[in-house]
Structure 1
């Protein structure tokens, strides 16, 4: 009887070993097939496309335990390329596509080239306004605020709250509003604050000569403007929120007269538009900073010196969303 019991126990032990061994083999097969899926389907792996590859992390349990804490502290993993579509033809002098959170670039066309940035300057003007001016203070428009290139909508002597002039400057790109904001603080001091902030953000190839961007001496590069976008996103995201508006209305603080303004940005009607700024002068041609939502992340696109800034940006964003996926 004892002999039969030993045989039964031995039989079940062998079965268990076989089952466990089979399971281990199956897991190895799955791992191999996943590793080779790119070759099997023709999809480029990240290292083949030239896109950055997130470092391998084998400490799964540790990473999972820290996820809630690190999610707020560290940029999410970058995007990886899944196709190899050719770049669209664009007419920009300079262009970049980048992940706003990490600063990772996915397209770089002459990004170090210095270029007149026109009204893109108003983003830094807005930063200094938020840092130095009382948004509820009142500003009386003066004759010196009126600049070439602005339609004569305002009249000297009109009074507006700082926050209202800020909205008009960002949405309708009014030079008069930018000049009035700077003058109310002290014009030269305001410009110094703009340039100091640029230096603080590492924008070493940038110069601001006026708060509106009309001066051809207001120059920067796509690389420096990437830093501006990241700085605004990190420190003053309310600026992007303002630029989402298709229209703004402001009221004279003394007479109650209402003035209406329309955005200069064609992308404000898009649901994936997070914010941006237009810029144009004869010397600069068309400039555009755009931030879009994609894959629960913010993607920045900057084009400088373009005859079709919105068309070029649309082409680049379409190319990126077709070619790249987020790794998380």
Structure 2
């Protein structure tokens, strides 16, 4: 992948900064939405392109099931058979109509969870994966904190109302971004119809109209309760860019998400700053058996930018001139930081490309005599 040269302005310095959340919003005017809160986030970079009350804690209804599905995929075997516990029977709201002692695969349960929004499926998954609903809820909250969804608290695996069960548009976008890294999750979200291996109630149609109504729609999850209102987490991918849109308590939920998608795709383009493991610079290693250490990027970086923003971007490389051996391959040596209009957008590690061992006595002696000979 070729790097756009216009993006690069390299400056060398020696300060250290920590990785920060990249949430610089656009100066463009995004279309208004009708929900209590909302967000538009570019998936790869995590850049926020639009936000409104994105940190407001609100009930989230069945969008809860994004986390339930993610944990099922991370901790379960989809081919395993699950024997339905009586605690999973007769849960109010949306259902896949599980029967007592029914044996159903975890895969069918997850499809029933995400497409049909089965609350009974959510409880069956929780018991199977967590050992109990209570243990599974602990897993949900631990995962939320791990992702950085710090304004989220789960009290159940399905999203039926509880005053202490809440999240935010921002947190749901983070959770969805994490879930979308899982190929199986992406596949499930995009499935319009799933036929389960059971005798009755086996057709699961996806309730998320994004798959039919928006070009490039990836689905994700809808949710509704009287207290939460209409909640939608949706995703769309076009022109090499994936956007995640979240609206909470929004009567115009689908239309508002589509407006945000249009805004994002029309105004932003993914710009390649650098590739994964791209060479940056050689650093002197005076006491090393190899005296030059090649330094490379840890990851690739692609950021969504408007045309007007290109000239505001600078890349700063923080690396020492010299470093002492021994050095282990993959060790973080410095930072590569991207600034827009003076504000830090993102920061990534720069890594040692190879192992370099310290010179021994004979290495130093050979070097000494070679240098002495050259001087004569």
TM-score scaled by length of structure 1: 0.70
Say whether the 8 Å CA contact 1:278–1:289 is kept in structure 2: yes
- Whether the 8 Å CA contact 1:79–1:327 is kept in 2: the answer is no
Question: Out of 109, 131, 136, which is 2:52 matched to?
Answer: 109
Is residue 2:293 matched to residue 1:319? no
Find the partner of 1:290 among 223, 234, 237. 234
Counterpart residue number, 2:116 = 172
Partner residue in 2 for 1:233? 180
Residue 222 (structure 2) aligns with: 278
Map Cα deviations across residues 166-223 of structure 1 (whole Å, 9 max, x no partner).
1110111111101111122322111111111111111111011000111333211112
Residue 153 of structure 1: CA displacement?
Answer: 3.3
CA contact (8 A) 1:117 1:287 kept: yes
**Residue 274 of structure 1: how far off its partner (Å):** 2.4
Rounded to whole Å, the distance in 2 between the matches of 1:324 and 1:147 is: 43
Distance 1:263 1:193, change over 3 A: same
CA RMSD of aligned residues (A): 2.6
Structure 2 gap ranges (5+): 11-22, 273-376
Task: Decide which of 51, 54, 73 is 1:130's aligned counterpart.
Answer: 73
Give, in angstroms, the shift of residue 151 of structure 1. Answer: 4.8
**Structure 1 residue 244 displacement after superposition:** 0.7
Alpha-carbon shift at residue 57 of structure 1 (Å): 1.4
How big is the shift at 1:246? Answer: 1.2
The 1:297/1:159 distance shift into structure 2, 3 A limit, reads same
Provide Cα deviations, 1:241-283, integer angstroms capped at 9, x if missing partner: 101111111123xxx5561121110012244012411111111
Aligned partner (choices 133, 136, 143) of residue 187 of structure 1: 133
Aligned residue-pair number: 252
Q: In 2 relative to 1, CA 80–120 (structure 1 residues): closer, same or farther, beyond 3 Å? A: closer
**Which of 63, 70, 77 is 1:120 aligned to?**
63
Deviation of 1:90 after TM superposition, in Å, equals 2.3
**1:161 maps to what in 2?**
105
Offset at residue 158 of structure 1 (A): 2.2
Does the 8 A contact of 1:91 with 1:306 survive in 2? yes
TM-score for both structures, normalised by structure 2: 0.62
- How many Å separate the matches in 1 of 2:91 and 2:200? 22
Larger of the two Rg values belongs to structure: 1
What pairs up with 1:135-146 in 2 under 5 angstroms?
135-145=78-88, 146=90
User: How far apart are the structure 1 equivalents of 2:96 and 2:243?
Assistant: 36
Give the match for residue 143 of structure 2. 197
Residue 319 of structure 1 deviates from its aligned partner by 2.6
2:207 corresponds, among 264, 272, 275, to 264
The gaps in structure 1 that reach 5 residues or longer are 1-53, 60-77
